[in-house]
């Protein structure tokens, strides 16, 4: 029996799986970065709202009030953009995860085939070895029998 014919395909699938694993890790890192940016923006927004509330309670002029409101509106717009970026990163991470799962599945199929091939080779080797031992035993039996004197 020859070597495993799909060894090159298995090596390719393994390298493909590693590439998919790296891509999925990068997507997860990007998602974490987007989430932390959004969380930081949310904290900044809450601080600014609290600050505006304090200034309003102490008294604030109209131009300063308009300036804060415009800033908060722009911050809300940025929050919407951050949310969309986070959703896109989430979707990309999920797609990368699905591709990784498929690559792992395909590699495992080939790995199982390789194991079955190795088992078949071992069984063939044991069958040939057993046949050789049987032949040696028969030859020894016939030689011993031939060397015995014939008695009637």
User: Could you read off the pLDDT of 37-82 as tens digits, one per residue?
Assistant: 999 999 999 998 898 888 888 887 888 888 888 998 999 999 999 9
pLDDT for 152 equals 57
| Mean residue pLDDT across the chain | 90
- For the stretch 3-14, pLDDT in tens is 888 899 999 999
Instruction: Tell me the pLDDT band of 1, cut-offs 50, 70 and 90.
Output: low
The 10 Å Cβ neighbour count of residue 114 is: 16
Q: How far apart are CA 45 and CA 49, in angstroms?
A: 6
Please list, residue by residue across 37-64, b when 16 or more beta carbons sit within 10 angstroms of its beta carbon and e when fewer do.
ebeebeeebeeeeeebeeeeeeeeeeee
pLDDT at 58: 85
Q: What number is the average pLDDT over the span 108-121?
A: 94
CA 145 to chain centre: 66
> Crossing angle of helices 62-147/7-58, nearest 10°?
160
Cα atoms in the 13 Å half-sphere on the side-chain side of 74: 7
23 closest CA partner among 111, 122, 97: 97
Q: Is residue 129 pLDDT above 70, yes or no?
A: yes
Please name the residues in contact with 106: beta carbons below 8 A apart, sequence gap of 6 or more.
13
């Amino acid at each position: 029996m020859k070597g495993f014919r799909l060894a090159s395909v298995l090596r390719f699938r393994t390298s493909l799986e590693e590439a998919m694993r790296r891509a999925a890790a990068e997507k997860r890192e990007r998602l974490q970065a987007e989430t932390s940016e959004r969380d930081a923006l949310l904290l900044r927004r809450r601080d600014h709202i609290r600050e505006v509330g304090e200034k309003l309670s102490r008294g604030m002029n109209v131009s300063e009030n308009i300036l804060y409101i415009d800033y908060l509106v722009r911050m809300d717009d940025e929050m919407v953009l951050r949310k969309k970026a986070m959703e896109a990163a989430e979707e990309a991470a999920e797609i990368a995860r699905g591709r990784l799962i498929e690559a792992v599945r395909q590699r495992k199929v080939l790995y199982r085939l390789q194991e079955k091939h190795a088992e078949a080779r071992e069984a063939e080797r044991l069958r040939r070895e057993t046949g050789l031992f049987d032949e040696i035993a028969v030859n020894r039996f016939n030689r011993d029998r031939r060397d015995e004197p014939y008695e009637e």
